[in-house]
Structure 1
Amino acid sequence: MARGELMKKLLASYGRDEEFRAVAEQIILEEEQKNNRVLARSLRHTLDNATSANVRSSKQAPSQKLASLIPFPDAADDFVERVDPVHSHKDITLSHANTRVFDGLLQEYRRSEEIRRHGLAVRSKLLFCGPPGCGKTLCAEVFAAELGLPLFVVKLDRLISSYLGETAGNVRKIFEFAKRQPCVLFLDEFDALARSRDDSAEHNELRRVVNSLLLFIDRMQPRGFMIAATNLDSSLDPAIWRRFDEVIWFDKPDHALIKRFLKAKFKNVVIDFDLDRYVDRLEGYSFAEIERVCIQTIKAPLIARRKGIAESDFTAAIADESRRRAGRARL
């Protein structure tokens, strides 16, 4: 819609809070698609603050309370939590292949209106696969921050109701919300919801949930992105895979990625030894495990009240992580 028309609609809707916010959201979405992320974030922050201020003031004057920007339908807020990203692209180490994929997705989103005008679909449904601690959740957060979109995390423990017949209805609620609200909707541990229907241990009701899930994903055209993540890709129902526009694999870091990760983690501290000599010892570790090694190493001189990181600090941290890994292997 032309900017002039949007501004007229905005002014015309003044005093009708829900309509006003819907138009304001359209303006913010336009700025995001034009890659004006700083302006879009500022507008969204202002709008959110205005909502919060009105909610607070409603305690004195309930009639002045403003409606939510886009309310969660049918109490879907029981299953979805908004998370404010605290990390940026500087905090994540990706393979060259994954960097290329995400750059392409960002550019595609920013040119989405032009792409749709040519009758083409925009990739918006992503599946993240890989072992724990390899960056799936962090990547979803950074991706939302780069897009300037709010991040909503689905609380699967609440979504999967103890009353099995309610689960499909709960899934419908979050998909209805994501269709209306431009956002990144993140479903972690997706295998708990999309487990293979061939698994003989699964209850018939859970198989019906998967049937419903397949239908919802097919019909869903999010105004942002839906991201599902799993550590157990082999447990997913075979029909799930083709429902996603992209499947992105997060593997444990190789030699080159470990070097890049260590360099980024120790860039602001003084060390008196060559980190590269320890890269081989960290192969097979996840990013989360290597990060724990780095954090323990950096804390050691602070605890000992000395300057600079000693080689013994690093080797001790590796030994601690190795002991932790050995303990898990016995489980």
Structure 2
Amino acid sequence: MARGELMKKLLASYGRDDEFRAVAEQIIIEEEQKNNKVLARSLRKTLESGPAPKGPQPMRSLAPLIPFPEAAKDLVERVEPIHTTKDVILSAANTRVFIGLLKEFRRADDIRRRGLPVRSKLLFCGPPGCGKTICAEVFSAELGLPMYAVKLDQLISSYLGETATNLRKIFDFARKQPCVLFLDEFDALARSRDDSSEHNELRRVVNSLLLFIDRLKPQGFLIAATNLDHALDAAIWRRFDEVIWFGKPDRQLVERYLRMKFRNVPTAFDVTSRAREFDCFSYAEIERVCIQAMKAAVIEKRKEVREKDLNTALLDEKRRRAGRSQLATQP
């Protein structure tokens, strides 16, 4: 990374011990690579003689940063994390998988030295609003890696052969830059080649995609997400090291989610007692109900959310769902 960018990162992290030390360590490594060993030793001695970081130290480390490649700048965009683990409710199975992936990433060098592969290509499947994008964001933050989202509208080109060329650019980017590369609406690229409605150009794109995923050995993670797993080409599945399924929450998860959403908001009733009314709702739908209930209290200048606020918001969401269902059944 350019020295100026590292210095800005160092100053921005002041007061956050773990981040500050990680950036300082990166500067020292750069000096060692430039063979400025005296300066590097002096900087390391100064860093190590400073006050010990407060509290338990996270295992995260700052990803090596490189100049952003011109070839990929129009195809990917940086996503700044705004959510934390406190904003995500996962099933026990998914929690176990993500913890395993984090541990594996942190011991990647040891694993590779023993000739074993490290999981780095993940496929997220499930209906809309069930946490795929938020989980990718939180996962990248826990890893200490920047997250880049692929701009699908820029990637898919109307020009013959250009989509495959764009794919090559983003996979080259993922190979060089330690990051989480997030490819949403993956079915738009990886649709089954057996689909008779698709033209030959898309089939060639799928062929290229399979090849690029096969050859990719990222320094971070490739995460692809889809709501239409049934539409994916059969050859796609084995290209991913892990497939993680995101479903609509069960009653217990709904209770946890309601408790989380109202954790800083006074209520005049027990919100978890209403969990059964959210059966078959996605997290996004439940969140929308919670937000509307909170806004009703703000509008009426009340400090607490009342049960009538939740009732009204829930009725609105059910009306919205009913309208969507009617549209889906129309010829």
CA separation in 2, counterparts of 1:287 and 1:5? 43
SS in 2 for 1:309: coil
Residue 229 of structure 1: aligned partner: 225
Spell out the pairing of 1:30-45 with structure 2 (5 A cutoff): 36-37=59-60, 40=62
Find the counterpart in structure 2 of residue 325 from structure 1: 321
Q: Which has the higher helix share?
A: 1
Q: 1:292 to 1:10 in 2, by over 3 A?
A: farther
Question: What does residue 72 of structure 1 align with?
Answer: 69
Matching residue within 191, 195, 215 for 1:195: 191
Partner of 1:292: 288
Match of 1:307 in 2: 303
Aligned to 1:182: 178
Supply the RMSD in Å over aligned alpha carbons. 2.0
Counterpart CA distance in 2 for 1:35 and 1:210 is 40
Please tell me the residue identity of whatever aligns with 1:40. Answer: L
Corresponding residue SS for 1:239: coil
In the other structure, the counterpart of 1:9 is 33
Aligned in 2, Cα 1:5/1:312: closer, same or farther, shift over 3 Å? closer
Q: Unaligned stretches of 5+ in structure 1?
A: 14-33, 48-68
Residue of structure 2 equivalent to 1:132: 128
8 Å contact from structure 2 (residues 184, 224) kept in 1: yes
Alpha-carbon separation, structure 1, partners of 2:31 and 2:89: 41
User: Residue in 1 aligned with 2:95?
Assistant: 99
Q: Whole-Å Cα distance in 2 between the matches of residues 36 and 248 of structure 1? A: 24
Q: Distance in 1 between matches of 2:269 and 2:69?
A: 54
CA contact (8 A) 2:59 2:106 kept: no
Give the 3 Å change call, closer, same or farther, for CA 11–199 of structure 1 in structure 2: same
- Superposed CA offset, 1:26-70 (max 9, x none): xxxxxxxx9543x638xx7xx8xxxxxxxxxxxxxxxxxxxxx33
**SS in structure 1 opposite 2:168?**
helix
Q: 2:206 aligns with which of 198, 210, 216?
A: 210
List runs of 5+ in structure 2 lacking aligned partners.
1-25, 38-56
Separation of aligned partners in 2, 1:35 and 1:280: 37
CA deviation map 1:72-105 (0-9, x unaligned): 25x2211100111111111111001000000000
Residue 317 of structure 1, CA deviation: 0.6
* TM-score relative to the length of structure 2: 0.82
Count of residues in Structure 1 that have an aligned counterpart in Structure 2: 283
> AA paired with 1:110?
R
TM-score, normalised via structure 1 length: 0.82
- In the TM superposition, what is the alpha-carbon distance from 1:6 to its structure 2 partner? 5.9
Q: Render the CA deviation track for 1:229-277: whole Å, top value 9, x for unaligned.
A: 0000000000000000000000000000000000011111111112233
SS of the equivalent of 2:275 reads helix
State the alpha-carbon separation in 1 of the partners of residues 239 and 117 from structure 2: 13
State the shift of 1:116 in Å: 0.2
1:70/1:180 contact within 8 Å kept: no
- Matched with 1:245 is 241
Q: Deviations over 1:157-195 (max 9, x none)?
A: 110101131000100000001000000000000000000
Please say if residues 259 and 272 of structure 2, whose CA atoms lie closer than 8 Å, have aligned partners that are also in contact.
no
- Taking only the aligned residue pairs, the percentage that are identical comes to 64
Counterpart position of 1:152 = 148
